[in-house]
Amino acid sequence: MSEILELKNISKSYGETKVLDNISFKINNNEFFTILGSSGSGKSTIIRMIGGFVKPTSGQIFYENNIINEQPIFKRPFNTVFQDYALFPNMNVSNNVGFGLKIKNVNILKIKEKVQEVLQIVGLENFSDRMPQELSGGQQQRVALARAIICEPKVILLDEPLGALDAELRKQMQLFLKEIQKKIKISFIFITHDQEEAIFLSDRIAVLNNHKFEQIGSPKDLYYSPKTTYMAKFFGECNLIACKVVDKKMDSIVVESEFGQLLINHSIDKSIGDSLTFGIRPEEIKILDQSSSNSIEVIIKDVEFRGSTSNLNVKSQHSEKYLKIQNISSNISQPFQQGDVINVELNTGVGTIFKDETIS
């Protein structure tokens, strides 16, 4: 994939308040790229800088290898879709969608033709005469997207566009966005605080934390190979276990933890007596009928019934630390009660060792 956009060493401050600290990333052509972070992490600031609404304090923004820091909004080949849609309440759907072409003095017949074409893409070809207040939230969002598409931008910036929708409509719009992006083959830069949404939609994800990017990669890279304990906890759920190395073998180590002794199938440059943190996803813990050589005994703290599946929260017999076991069959969980003692086995071959991070 060819690169279309780059942010290089970008920082942004408002007075003494630091918002972004020396961030860099590149966007590929036709890519769905998501910036993921908690509220106040600086996600919207990145979108606004790319769109030209604010300037970086330092650093450069490149579009097709040209610096565009000083380029005005109307000259940038990007369009933005906001969370509040920003539709003109006194214009019908057709006029809202065609507004961008109108201010460019495009021929009125050409505008009409393009409007119908774009409304077909977003599935609103029969709503051209409706006013915004006559549309549902999802329909208004489609109008906002159609208005962004019609001028054929190179990049569409989506500033938490699904945040105002209810859960079911949000899922429908996620499907719609994914389909539209593949159909029109335009780079999307999408921001959200919702991890599941980011995983479903994105080709790549950049996770913002403490004014910087914690990690950038595909959803699978971030989920299965988190580089920090923050990433492991923020991007999906992860059990983090404090351990001390008590023995080393050729391709594994034996550690002592608050849950007992574990054999971890990893070879690392740690010595006996060193501390580390071992991370394992809840779905990689298996309930056993009886103890085994690498099982641990735990007490059920509570059972979270989810219908077809259930989650178990279990705690160590040696401390109050607990593990989450996720997505087990509800049939398997049915006989379990709070206080039951069970044996579980951790799939330590797929867990992650955080060598230079320990948890209290």
The full DSSP string for 252-266 is: -EEEEETTEEEEE--
How far from 196 is each of 233, 272, 291, 312, 355, CA to CA, in Å? 13, 39, 35, 21, 27
| Tokens 């230079």 found at | 356
| Residue of 194, 266, 280 lying closest to 232 (CA atoms) | 280
Residues 221, 29, 185: CA angle, nearest 5 degrees: 105
- The pLDDT profile of the chain, 360 residues, written as one tens digit per residue, is 589 999 999 999 999 999 999 999 999 999 999 999 988 889 999 999 999 999 999 999 999 999 999 999 989 999 998 878 789 999 999 999 999 999 889 999 999 999 999 999 999 999 999 999 999 888 998 999 999 999 989 999 999 888 877 888 888 889 989 999 998 999 999 999 999 999 999 999 999 998 999 999 999 999 999 999 999 999 989 999 999 999 998 889 999 998 989 999 887 888 899 999 999 999 999 999 888 878 899 999 999 988 888 999 999 887 888 999 998 887 888 888 999 999 999 998 889 999 777 665
Nearest of 355, 224, 358 to residue 283 by alpha carbon: 224
> What integer pLDDT is reported at residue 320 of this predicted model?
83
User: What do you get for the CA distance between the two ends of the chain, in Å?
Assistant: 43
The pLDDT, as a whole number, for residue 330 is 79
Cα gap 72→57, rounded to integer Å: 16
pLDDT tens digits, one per residue of 241-264 = 999 999 998 889 999 998 989 999
Q: Which domains does the chain have, with CATH numbers?
A: 3-227 (3.40.50.300), 237-354 (2.40.50.100)
Measure the CA dihedral 201/202/205/208, to 10°: -30
